[in-house]
Structure 1
């Protein structure tokens, strides 16, 4: 995780986060001043950001929203107060409503963004300045410290090119907290094809098979928001395993970028997970990021102990062969 420290100072009414990355300060500057790149880190996992405007000039404004796994929208806005080219900038950050106006029941805060080179790469520091202790406590109660830490924890995937970040690493699993894991896999192929491979049964049955020796016998999916799906697998050889399946609902579908689903093992009373898939394309390669939320730490650990990551890698390797073809 690139985040090395986050400190709350109630006496000085500040919250400061520091992150160190293997990059240059100029690269960090680009990430935070180009909205398409900034979107990849500003929202925490499960709440990706979309900047709808970005007038990067003193007195200019930016507007963004974050979209939750059930389609919830949280809107915010910046006014650029000062800009120190290549070194940092300062904004007034506000929660806003659908009309773009600041919400009366939430505090505004001043944010500074600072970038500097270090012996090991570059350091990003952001400090939030609050108008009162009450405002600071209100924001902390909303999970700001945890959310900012997880959001800036995504910097590593942005400061490097996608190929530099993920090429040859296979499927990687990262524990985010007691009930969430983040899985990443770079696919050498365009995002549209990767999306189709997750939503078209004819393609899904060619790659979504886990370890060798299994066949996907049922693949039914309505990939629209509110749609349902049902999948089932059987071993190719008698006695090599028991048939099983999953079913669930599409909570959110944003072709060809994001899909959020529930996942329940058919015929059991096991609790469902929420699976949030985000696809990012760069230079013909697509990074799949899958955020899985479990009902508990015990449920998370039990699933990971089954060898889930290696089974997913077997599937993703097939998917990459399909995109290459």
Structure 2
């Protein structure tokens, strides 16, 4: 097992969270895991929650509307709007919580995903800019850091499975 980087840094002064994670997988496979709904739904929710994409159009101006679903069936909806896409290198999106009809809440966050590969190791750097300190603090209080780490561990297992095919 390779020693893969995982770093999660919160900077309240800039209302930013930066997540850096390396994967022992091909760049195109990691890119697909972040941009295809059938793969996203397999890893993006921390267990025992699951993810269910209602709609996704991965293009500039497109969006993903999905729910995190608890084991009891409770749904927490989110809406992601894709702002820019540079295939296999970068994409940016605006993310906000929403109701089940897709109506966004007032404040959201800008997510900037950067992908690179070196010697078969793919590095993903995700920078999350929050519109307010209150939103960043709400994310932290909701267990975002722990939940995101659990999701990334799910992704690592999925990538291992897909890489062996």
Alignment TM-score, normalising by the size of structure 1: 0.48
Match for residue 40 of structure 1? 42
Report how many residues are paired. Answer: 163
* Structure 1 residue 3 displacement after superposition: 6.1
1:7 to 6, 9, 22: 9
CA contact (8 A) 1:78 1:94 kept: yes
Q: What's the C-alpha RMSD, in Å, of the aligned pairs? A: 1.9
Q: State the structure with more CA Rg.
A: 1
Contact 2:41–2:52 (Cα < 8 Å) also in 1:
yes
**Cα 1:78/1:24, change in 2 over 3 Å:** same
Aligned to 1:158: 158
Residue 119 of structure 1: how far off its partner (Å): 3.1
CA 1:9–1:125 in structure 2 vs 1: closer, same or farther (change >3 Å)?
same
Equivalent-residue separation in structure 2 for 1:83 and 1:120 (angstroms) = 23
Name the residue aligned to 1:55: 57
Give 1:160 shift. Answer: 3.1
Deviations along 1:69-88, whole A, 9 cap, x unmatched? 21111111110000011112
119 and 136 in structure 1: CA distance in 2 versus 1, 3 angstrom threshold: same
1:103 corresponds, among 96, 102, 105, to 105
Tell me if the contact between 1:29 and 1:88 (Cα under 8 Å) persists in the aligned partners. Answer: no
Structure 1 pair 58–69 and aligned structure 2 pair: CA distance change class (3 A): same
Instruction: Give structure 1 regions of 4+ aligned residues with deviation exceeding 2 angstroms.
Output: 160-164
Conserved? CA contact 1:2–1:152, under 8 Å: no
Specify the alignment match of 1:24 in structure 2: 26
Paired with 2:70 and 2:129, the residues of 1 have a C-alpha distance of: 26
SS of equivalent to 1:101: coil
SS of the counterpart of 2:54? strand
What is the SS of the residue equivalent to 2:154? coil
Structure 1, gaps ≥5 residues long: 165-282, 284-325
CA offset at residue 120 of structure 1?
5.2
Tell me what 1:122 maps to: 122
1:76 and 2:71 aligned: no
| Distance in structure 2 (CA, Å) of the matches to 1:129 and 1:27 | 26
Task: Measure the CA separation in 1 of the matches of 2:88 and 2:136.
Answer: 29
Corresponding residue number in structure 2 for 1:212:
none
Distance 1:162 1:23, change over 3 A: closer
Equivalent position of 1:290 in the other structure: none
Name the counterpart of 1:322: none
Residue matched to 1:148: 148
Q: Match of 1:136, SS?
A: helix
CA contact (8 A) 2:63 2:79 kept: yes
Q: Relative contact order (C-alpha < 8 Å, sep 6+): which is higher?
A: 2
Residue 113 of structure 2: SS of its match in structure 1?
Answer: strand
Cα separation, 2, equivalents of 1:150 and 1:8: 17
The two structures have a TM-score, normalised by structure 2, of 0.91
